[in-house]
Amino acid sequence: MLSYIIRRLLYTIPIVFGVMLLTFVLFNVVGGDVSDQIAGRAASAETIAEIRAEYGWDKPLFFNSEDFFDTQFFNHLKNTATFNFGRSWADRERVIDKIKRGAGYSLALTVPMFFISLAISVCISLVVAFFRGTWFDTAVMLLCVAGMSIPYLSFILFGQYFLGFKWGLFPVYFWPDHFPVQYYLLPVLVGVVSGLGGEVRFYRTVMLDEMRSDYVRTAFAKGLGTASVLFKHVLKNAMIPIITQVVLAIPFLFLGSLLLERFFGIPGLGYLFIGAIGSRDYQIVGAITYIGAILYVIFDLLTDICYSLVDPRITFD
């Protein structure tokens, strides 16, 4: 197993290099020069030139005949590898400080949303799979498709207007001077409800595959109770696709939720990211993309390791 992990870690080197190259090309070559924007509307040409020098945008992109290492790409490699993402050009704050601060807010939203959603959707899918083909199954599937068809923004506006504003059950928006936990209730609820449709459908398919297996019939024949069969046997055997789904979703939890954070005023990474895209703050967009990619690679490896933990048939030799 150790040799497998080492091998997988070595594979990540070209992947990370590819990510660095891609982010550089996307944000420094294709994205264009943002020095005009930094300088403001009334800036002179000399101010714009100074900005280009300040951020190193006056250097050659890939090749410098005089000094091989003095290029924009090499500086990008060096900085991203050491997590030195520089300063946001919009407000000159260190990008890493923004990310550190925003990650807590994003996780406070996405972690409960994810686990609550997972628990509910797995439970519902088990029950629905058990009653497959009945009116109950059809009704739940109909609701799932309806839920999937409604735009995410509609859930947000509905929740904000009725549950927050009209009925006063939850705060409408993040507000300083108050205990933070209550401001997460409504966005978490909206996030959970809006995501249920797709997840229940996915897990129902997984559960149905297991329900048709011989061991389930055997368990029922031996006289085991329904709950015991479903939650002890079926659920355990359905863990592989669930783990794949769960572990690979974790990096995205870190990145937050773009719309929920913006509409509920949660100052997380999703909000930061969408704002940075809008203002072409490539320092931030590049940094979050890079960290997201690194996390994805790490959790992809963890997924493989987890397989062997839940399924003894899987080995890495």
Joined tokens for residue 245: 């789904």
Q: Does 105 bind another protein (CB under 8 A)?
A: yes
Pick the binder of another protein from 73, 184, 203, 290 (CB under 8 A). Answer: 184
Helices (H), the chain: 2-24, 35-39, 45-54, 72-81, 95-130, 135-149, 152-158, 181-211, 214-221, 226-228, 235-237, 239-255, 258-264, 269-278, 282-310
What DSSP state is assigned to residue 62? Answer: S
**According to CB under 8 A, which residues from 18 to 37 bind another protein?**
32-34, 36-37
Pick the binder of another protein from 1, 180, 213, 232 (CB under 8 A). Answer: 180
Name the burial class of residue 225, with classes exposed (0-12), middle (13-18) and buried (19+) by CB atoms within 10 angstroms of its CB: exposed
Question: Between vectors from CA 142 to CA 141 and to CA 145, what angle results, nearest 5°?
Answer: 85
Q: Does 50 bind another protein (CB under 8 A)?
A: yes
**According to CB under 8 A, which residues from 265 to 304 bind another protein?**
265, 267, 271-272, 275, 278-280
Question: CB of 191 within 8 A of CB of 117?
Answer: yes
Q: Does 215 bind another protein (CB under 8 A)?
A: no
Name the burial class of residue 121, with classes exposed (0-12), middle (13-18) and buried (19+) by CB atoms within 10 angstroms of its CB: buried
For 213, residues 6+ apart whose C-beta sits below 8 A from its C-beta are 237
Pick the binder of another protein from 61, 77, 96, 111 (CB under 8 A). Answer: 111
* Among 76-84, 163-171, 208-216, 227-235, the segment contacting another protein (CB under 8 A): 163-171
Q: Does 115 bind another protein (CB under 8 A)?
A: yes
Q: Does 175 bind another protein (CB under 8 A)?
A: yes
Q: Does 39 bind another protein (CB under 8 A)?
A: yes
CB nearer to another protein: pick between 8 and 262: 262
| 3-class SS of residue 120 | helix
Q: Does 12 bind another protein (CB under 8 A)?
A: no
Q: Does 151 bind another protein (CB under 8 A)?
A: no
CB nearer to another protein: pick between 68 and 179: 179
Instruction: Give me the least distance between CB of 7 and another protein, in Å please.
Output: 30
Joined tokens for residue 81: 């590898």
Alpha-carbon distance of 84 to 78, in angstroms, equals: 8
Q: Which residues bind another protein (CB under 8 A)?
A: 32-34, 36-48, 50-51, 54, 87, 90-93, 98, 101-102, 104-105, 107-108, 111-112, 115, 157, 160-161, 164-165, 168, 172-181, 184, 262-265, 267, 271-272, 275, 278-280
